[in-house]
Structure 1
Amino acid sequence: MTDANGAPAEAAPQIRMQVLAQYVRDMSFENMVAQKGLQGGDVQPDIQVQVSLDARKRSVEHQYEVITKFKVTSKNKSGSAETLFLLELDYGGIFHVENVPEDQLHPFLLIECPRLLFPFVRRIISDVTRDGGFPPLNVDTVDFLALYRMELARRAEAQKAAQPVQ
């Protein structure tokens, strides 16, 4: 390839990413059915999953910590709509990332890194719900790109609403 002047274009360095560590940062599971002594007879669960993401630079060069936060709430559809269980999981990863352009680093950290962590999060949620006395919950795949775009749109709306009217 050549640039506009006919000189050979310099190849962009290849992006490097390595997962250095992954871990449960915080987890909580509350089985309301067992706590309240409710009978499991007429239970039709309505499951809501909320996902949020956070990323920050670490003190070591090219290292970033990415945290995926899942809040899973199951309520009974029939009858009183009581909460059956509540699971909160903060799952983190430490990533070594090189050669990502600065303007693309934020989306890279909040889309690609959580995508790598997600299978482990799904497994933990499945195991915890099963061990908590419920059928294993296999969380649907999360579209982290769509989640990122929704967050950008939400921030743009909030910024627009915060501007004074002239």
Structure 2
Amino acid sequence: MTDTSAAPVFQIQRVYLKEASLEQPNSPNILLQQEQPALDIQLGVAAEPLAEGVYEVTVTCTVTTKIKDKTLYLVEAKQAGIFEVRNLPQEQLGPILGIACPQIIYPYLRGNVADLIQRGGFPPVHLAEINFQGMYDQQLPREGEAAAAPAPTVQ
């Protein structure tokens, strides 16, 4: 008889919009401006354990649009997913949570951000595709530097 309890498990339990906000702090006066606004987009990924083998992964996006030094609008959104990940080697867990899970969540975030901006009365901003592998690889050296730092000596 084969032991299936050790088979790798990767399942999506739920994908949901955890948080979203739209601010237009300088409306309505700024809406009369004819200048092209400057756009700044920031993304972040986080993962945390919820239970044994169950993780919440979030992708956070902040879109800030300004004309000169005044904010036209600010959108903050956090899309999350709950994933069951079991029976994987420890070295595979990081890439699953930092690359595979965000790739699943991101299309939902893109749609929600575009919809929120459009509902605010602006042309939708379509977030570009993201290379989560590249983002993950950029974070590894920083985490490695912290791990490579000498441990305090206890005497």
C-alpha spacing 1:62/1:158, structure 2 compared with 1 (3 Å): closer
- State whether structure 2 residue 54 is matched by structure 1 residue 66: no
Between structure 1 and structure 2, the one with the greater Rg is: 1
From 101, 120, 126, give the equivalent of 1:113: 101
Q: Which of 47, 57, 60 is 1:55 aligned to?
A: 47
1:39 positional shift: 3.5
- TM-score, normalization: structure 2? 0.82
CA separation in 1, counterparts of 2:123 and 2:25?
15
- Cα RMSD (Å) of the superposition? 2.4
- Who is 2:23 aligned against? 30
Residue number among 113, 116, 133 corresponding to 1:145 in the alignment? 133
Q: What displacement does 1:62 show?
A: 2.2
Confirm or deny: 8 A CA contact 2:79 2:106 kept in the other structure.
no
1: CA distance between counterparts of 2:147 and 2:71?
35
- Looking at structure 2, the residues matched to 157 and 43 of structure 1 have their Cα atoms a distance apart, in angstroms, of 44
Residue type of the partner of 1:57?
Answer: P
The within-5 A match list for 1:55-94 is 55-59=47-51, 61-76=52-67, 80-94=68-82
Answer whether contact 2:16 2:80 (CA < 8 A) is retained: yes
Corresponding residue of 1:16: 9
2:113 is aligned to: 125
Report the CA distance between 1:153 and its aligned residue: 2.4
Q: Deviations over 1:34-82 (max 9, x none)?
A: 2x522434231221111111111222x3211111111111122xxx332
Question: Offset of 1:33 from its aligned partner?
Answer: 4.2
Distance 1:43 1:156, change over 3 A: farther
**Per the alignment, in what secondary structure is the counterpart of residue 32 of structure 1?**
coil
Output the CA distance in 2 between the equivalents of 1:160 and 1:53.
Answer: 23
Contact conserved, 2:48 with 2:56, CA < 8 A, in 1?
yes
CA offsets 1:118-164 (integer angstroms, 9 cap, x no match): 11000000000000111011000111111111122233456678999
The percentage of counterpart residues that share the same residue type is 33
TM-score, normalising length from structure 1? 0.77
Correspondence 1:38-53 to 2 at 5 A: 38-53=30-45
Cα distance in 2 for partners of 1:15, 1:47 equals 42
Q: Which runs of 5+ in 1 are unaligned?
A: 1-12
Using the alignment, how far apart are the partners of 1:83 and 1:162 within structure 2?
Answer: 44
CA distance in 1, matches of 2:73, 2:7: 45
